[in-house]
């Protein structure tokens, strides 16, 4: 993206579909009043990934959140349509299925090509009618490696006073977008996101 190989971004799609009742699922995950739900617990990582790759704040969101797979007081599926300040449009798909297969995929379409990020399969670039894999860009340990990088960044900020890799302003923007998505789903209308980074 930074090298401009796919041109200017036009749109992006970020999907997380996962088995909801994995071994670490706790009671609070099943109740929105305690911070639960698929979007707030896990799907927000799709929003984070897409927003980070787009490199621009979300200006508005239209969303549909629902509980269709499980008997719980929180969403287990959702779809968000996002408008970014730089003109890019995006969608986030957040599914905590009962029966299915996992999918962790981000797709970006630019003016000169496409890019996919599959967290085990790696990055592929689509241009001239062909998909080309980016060597050493994926693997089974992607989540473990991401957590290590996150903790190293946090430790460096605490120990050395460096700026954290992710700012508080960025985190607040992601949360404001989640809350606007919830409001959009309740009101059935697009909601502005006022918090920027």
CB 193 within 8 Å of CB 58: yes
**Who contacts 120 (Cβ-Cβ below 8 Å, separation ≥6)?**
104, 138, 139, 140, 142
pLDDT at 103 > cutoff 90: yes
In the chain, the percentage of residues whose pLDDT exceeds 70 is 100
> Domain 9-192 is classified in which CATH homologous superfamily?
Dihydrodipicolinate Reductase; domain 2 (3.30.360.10)
How far is residue 24's CA from residue 36's CA, in Å, rounded to a whole number?
13
Tokens 């986030």 -> residue: 92
CA pseudo-torsion sign 90, 113, 7, 165: positive
DSSP 8-class letter at 31: B
Question: For residue 141, what pLDDT is reported?
Answer: 84
Residues 39-79 have pLDDT tens digits of 999 999 999 999 999 999 999 999 999 999 999 999 999 99
For the cut 90, the answer to whether the pLDDT of residue 91 exceeds it is: yes
Q: What is the domain partition of the chain in residue ranges? A: 9-192
pLDDT number for residue 177:
98
């Amino acid at each position: 993206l930074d090298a401009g190989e796919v041109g200017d971004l036009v749109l992006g799609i970020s999907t997380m579909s996962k088995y909801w009742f994995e071994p670490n699922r706790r009671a609070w995950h099943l109740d929105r009043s305690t911070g639960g739900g698929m979007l707030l617990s896990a799907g927000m990582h799709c929003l984070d990934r897409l927003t980070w790759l787009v490199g621009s704040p979300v200006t508005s969101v239209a969303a549909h959140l629902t509980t269709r797979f499980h008997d719980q007081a929180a969403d287990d599926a959702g779809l968000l349509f996002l408008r970014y300040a730089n003109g890019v449009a995006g969608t986030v798909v957040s599914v905590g299925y009962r029966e299915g297969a996992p999918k962790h995929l981000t797709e970006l379409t630019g003016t000169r090509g496409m890019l996919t990020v599959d967290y085990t399969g790696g990055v592929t670039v689509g241009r001239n009618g062909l998909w080309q894999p980016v060597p050493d860009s994926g693997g089974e340990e992607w989540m473990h490696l991401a957590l290590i990088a996150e903790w190293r960044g946090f430790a460096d900020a605490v120990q050395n006073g460096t700026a954290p890799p992710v700012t508080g302003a960025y985190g607040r923007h992601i949360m404001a977008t989640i809350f606007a998505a919830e409001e959009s789903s309740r009101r059935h209308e697009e909601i502005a996101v006022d918090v920027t980074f």
